[in-house]
Each structure stands twice: as C-alpha cells, then as structure tokens.
Structure 1
Amino acid sequence: MVWRDDARITEMFDQAGVTGTFVVHDVAANVYTGHDRQRAAVRYVPASTYKIPNSLIGLATGAVSSVDDVLPYGGGPTYLPQWARDMPLREAIRVSNVPVYKELARRIGMARMREGLRRLDYGNMETGSVIDAFWLDGPLKISALEQTRFLGRLAQGKLPFPKAALAAVREIVRQEDNPNLYAKTGWYMPDDRNNQIGWWVGWVEKEGNVYAFALNVDITDEAAAASRVPLGKAALQSLGLL
C-alpha cells in the first residue's frame, strides 16, 4: 500500500483542535493520502455511515423494492423530531433517520444481513445478535482505510450486487450542493457518552477518476462534532478535489 502523509491536512487537524484521521484513496493510482496512517487502520463502530451498506443489502435482498418505498418509523418518541414520520430511503438517508433504517434491518433479517456483509467484505463483518443495533452499538467495526476501499468499489459499480441497487444507492448519497460529491456522516454515541466517534465518508468524481475518502474524529464536544464536514471538505479542497 502506498501512503503519503499530507502536512497541510495535519495542520488543519491541529488548527481545528481535533484528534482524528483523514484518508483519500485515489482508486486509479491505488495511492492513499492523508493524516495519521496509524489511526486510519483502526476499526471503529460505523454508526450512520452504515446506512450505505444497509441500503445496498435492503435493495439486493428485496427487503425494499426501491429507494422510494416508504418505511414506517414505528411511532413513539425519536431522538430528532424530523425522524418522527414514515419515509423512503431516499429521504431517510439525508436526515439519517435511525428508526427507519432499524426497520429496514429487521426486514432484511440476520441471515441475509450477515451474508450481505460477507459479500461486501465490510470491516470485521460482525453483527452480534441484535439485528437493529449492531452498527450503532457494535460489534460491527470498520477502519477509515476499509471505508475508502468499500466506497471506491461502490462508486465504480464493482461490488457483487445488482447494478440497479448500486446505482440507486449512489444516487441517494449524492450531495445536492455538489453533484461530484457523494457522502454520509456518522456519529457513534455509546450509552456512557464517552469515546464518541464522528465520521464523514464518501467519494469525489473528478475528470473520470474516483477519490474515495473517510474521516473520523474523537467527539469530545459540540465543536468537534461540527468540524467533521468542514474539515473533510477543506482537506479535499487542499488536494484539488473539490
């Protein structure tokens, strides 16, 4: 593996006062560029970045027939008020609706979920015994480097899933403010509220090439949480990708 440390990105992390890693995988050249290679290889709970493979497995197994199938949120109180209604995956992934994606996981079921993870070669591929919590609480974990490999294959349509499912998931993670940017956030928030991890992952398409990226940071306060996307975008801009 060819890794290149980038001093500009390290300086951005230092200035932001956050501890974390950022890696970009130039898929065509198979070169990784970023900050903190050691941390980039450490696996963490993926949290809502798992909505990407969850969507893929849901479509591939027929748990939903399309990203426009409306799924129920289940009623009751929700962590965010915008989650408190039924919605399709197309909308649910944009507002990161946890109850809707828990329902999707239950419809997929454990056997099909485990098979999907194996086919995707996603992180440690561990689901434990709770079908609708393993990506939020563990035991599922994935590293920033593994995220970029998975996302690079998704971007190129090279995952062993139906082409229509791959295309649909690429479409719903495409960013409205930049048609060349595909991305998803995540926030691992254990019950004890310690050791929280924030993610921003995705890829950029530029001049026919794919640049898959993954950022994760220790969330110690609201400022660290808010830094994820701006820090990631600044790193991509410094590399001439945004």
Structure 2
Amino acid sequence: MEERKIPETLEEAYRLRDEAEDLETREFYQEHVYRLRREEYRARGIRTEISSRRRERQSAIEFSREMFFMEVSELASRQGPQVQHEARRYASRLDTHAFLKQLASPSSRAVDLYRRNYLELLKMGKPPAEAYYLSRIIGLAGNAEFRQAIDSIRQTGYPRGRFTYALERAAIQIRDLPGGMILILLTFFASLFAFVWATGAWGKASPGTIFFVSLGLIAAGALMLVSAVFIVTFIRSINK
C-alpha cells in the first residue's frame, strides 16, 4: 500500500483531499483537514467540543457538521454577510437531505458526498442557491462521475445540459415544498380526468362549444404531460 503524505498545513490538506483518486484517500485527508482545523480554532480560542480521538459517534457527527459549516462560512464570507447567511441556510437544507438519504442507505456515504459537491461548487464561485441545486442534481456521484460533472459545469454551467438542469431544479423545488409530490400526482390525475371527460364531450358538443372543448383537450393533455415528466424526474432523483 502506497504511503500517504501527511499534510503540514491546512491548505495542503485541502489540496490533497481534493486531488484524491478514491473515497478512502479523500476521507484520510479529510481527517487531517479536521485535525488542522481543530488546531487552528483552538489557537484562536474557539471551542470545537470534540474529543481528541472522536471515539463517540455522536461527537464525530457533530464535529464534522461543525467543520462543514465553518468551511461554508469561510468560503462565502468573501462575498459578504448576506451571502454567508444564505450559504449556511442552503447548507443546512442540503445536510438534512443528505442525512435522510444516509439513514435510508447507511453505506451510501450520502453526507460526505453531498458536502463534497456543495463545497466544491462554492469554491468555483457559484451562488449558494445554485450550488445547492447543482449539489442535489450531481447527487451520490463517484469520483469519476463527479469530476466529469464539475468539468461540464466549468465549461457550460450545467452538469448535463441546460434543459435537463432546469427540469431537475424545478422538480427539486417542488419536492422541497410540503406535499409537493402529492400536488404533482393530484395534478396528473386531475388533468387525466379532464382529458377523458373532454374526449367524451367532443362527440356531443355543439358547433359553438367545440372550440372550447378543443382548448380543454390541449390544456389537459399538456398539463398531464408536464406532470408525467415531473413524476419521472422525481423517481430518477430518488437515488440521488
């Protein structure tokens, strides 16, 4: 096994972490990021509330979350207090989503991967809201897929095209609403019912009402199609 370099500075730890070829190596250098961060904050008189060896799992979770938010704040502080507050707010939303994903699948490493996505996008200068939605769209990508997505964002601004990004972002926004998925399902079945009704009413409609029945058919069909696309997008995003 190749001997890993022990970073001496925080900047070196970040660089080695970001250049890691696999998740195990990334986690190794992430531990050194925590160590050097802890030393820095202790030197500045900031308490981190963590044992030296982090034997207790809860302490480790709290510490990693604390370090994540500190790193988010530091990256966003260059753009002003308002952006810093917004970055922390979206970081909290992303972390909640990631923890729920990891509870459903403990081996997914969802928390680490979503945090990796968000921090990398903030480093690229993306606004917090855009970094949040891009992080959700990239999802639980492996190293190769993640680097490919980041390269695509650098070149085009989107991981898989502008239309796909707009569609997936809209789906995430609806999912984040209370009862968003239920609303889309209700819209789909309501439009399906309206479409069937308008089809049945076509043959019985008088010449004066055929125009309005036609508009109803078109509107119901379009709404049903849009709802179906969002439902498929929701299903695809379950594993992200």
**TM-score normalised by the chain length of structure 2:** 0.30
**TM-score normalised by the chain length of structure 1:** 0.30
Structure 1 or 2: larger helix share?
A: 2
**Which of structures 1 and 2 has the bigger CA Rg?**
2
- Bigger relative contact order, structure 1 or 2 (CA pairs below 8 A, ≥6 apart): 1
